[in-house]
Amino acid sequence: MKKPPAKHSGTPNSQPSNNQTVTTTTAWWQGPLPPPAALRGFDDVVPGLAERIATAWEVESAHRREIEKTDQRDFYRDMLTGKVFALIFVLSALALAGLCAWLDQPWLGGIIGGGTIGAVVWAFARSQQRNK
């Protein structure tokens, strides 16, 4: 049986070494602005860049808040408008149903009134279902 060759520990290799060291640095942050050290680094590369980044963030934040405020205002305005028109529709339909009953056409008044009340109940139930 053959013995494996002996290991040479601590002796340099006779071939020239080509050792290279590669260092990778990764930086990340979570939030609207980089940390102060990164901002200083940006300023080192381009003077005034940190101030420009902060200003751009302030402008963008103000714009986003204005859009959200406008969207919310429009949503509530549309919701109120829908309720007003629904009320006008219901009152008109019930007035027409009452007029039909008064003109000796109770079956027509029942259809109009029942259909109106059924539509309102259906719409209310559907809106409650969406809110859950």
Distances (CA, A) of 101 to 97, 104, 113, 114: 6, 5, 10, 13
Mean pLDDT of 74-81: 94
Helices then strands, each counted (H, E), the chain: 3, 0
Q: Report the percentage of the chain scoring pLDDT > 90.
A: 33
Please report the sign of the dihedral spanned by the C-alpha atoms of residue 24, residue 25, residue 28, residue 34: negative
Q: Give the model's confidence band at 82: pLDDT under 50 very low, under 70 low, under 90 confident, else very high.
A: confident
Whole-angstrom Cα distance, residue 63 to residue 53?
15
Where do the structural domains in the chain lie, given as residue ranges? 36-131
